[in-house]
Amino acid sequence: MPDLSQLRRKWSGLAKAAGALTLFALLGAILVGLGYQNAIERIKSNEREALLHQLLEIVPREQCDNNMLTDTRIIQAPDHLGSEQTTVYRARTENGPFAAIFSPVIASGYNGAIHLLVGINTNGSIAGVRVLKHRETPGLGDKIEIERDPWVLDFDGASLLKPKPDDWRVERDGGVFDQFTGATITPRAIVLAVKKALEYFQKNQERVFSVGESDDRLTEDW
């Protein structure tokens, strides 16, 4: 006959060991989860800082009184802004709306989608254009990056009146915007995307700046 007291001690020891292992595993999972959450929060914070830096390149802080990161609307205008949903960041002063920055505006480049920030002043002129993401050919299409070439600055101050709508093309197509040697498709796509953003803003400016919740949806109005 087995010694029942020894069996009880043995099983008690095993149960304690199993309990300790379970506790350690649980604590480990909690620590990993907390570390992952902290990493996610840091990534989101860095992304917000990078986005704010880009927004302020288009509308400097001294030109607006509000927080553009929180004063936003969601627009559903894929035909003119290229994405099913486009966030618009609104800049205001004490005198009222100042500019709207659309992100992302999608252009179809040589190697895929080009994500843009397009800022438009309330007078219908371009406040600034920046490239957020692209896959264009290094040394050719990547001149759309302001760090590599000042080409995107050519949009500053442009509107649907200056140049005229028919001139919103690259020079090779009879327009006024420069193209890159060996990479006409890329600037052609961006010129068209910026023009379409201007057209949307011209018709929907009042709705873009209307007071409402930040997650209100504005559908394309054409």
CA-to-CA distance for 178 and 139, rounded, in angstroms?
16
Burial class for 61, CB neighbours closer than 10 Å (0-12, 13-18, 19+): exposed
Which tens digit of pLDDT belongs to each residue from 156-200?
Answer: 999 999 999 899 999 999 999 998 877 889 999 999 999 999 999
Least confident of 39-48, 66-75, 95-104: 39-48
DSSP H helix total and E strand total for the chain: 3, 6
Please write the tens of the pLDDT for every residue from 5-55: 665 665 566 666 666 677 777 777 777 776 766 666 776 667 678 788 899
pTM of the model: 0.77
Residue 176: exposed, middle, or buried by beta-carbon count in 10 A (0-12, 13-18, 19+)?
A: middle
pLDDT given at position 181: 76
Please give the sequence-ordered ranges of beta strands (E in DSSP) within 43-174, or none if there are none: 72-76, 86-93, 96-109, 112-121, 126-133
Contact 39, 48 (CB under 8 A): no
Tokens at 54, concatenated:
């880009």
At 175, the amino acid letter reads: G
In 3D space, the residue among 112, 81, 41 whose CA is nearest the CA of residue 204 turns out to be 81
* HSE toward the beta carbon, residue 194, CA cutoff 13 A: 35
The predicted structure's pLDDT at residue 50? 79
Q: Reduced to 3 states, what is the DSSP secondary structure of residue 173?
A: helix
The pLDDT of residue 221 is above 60 = no
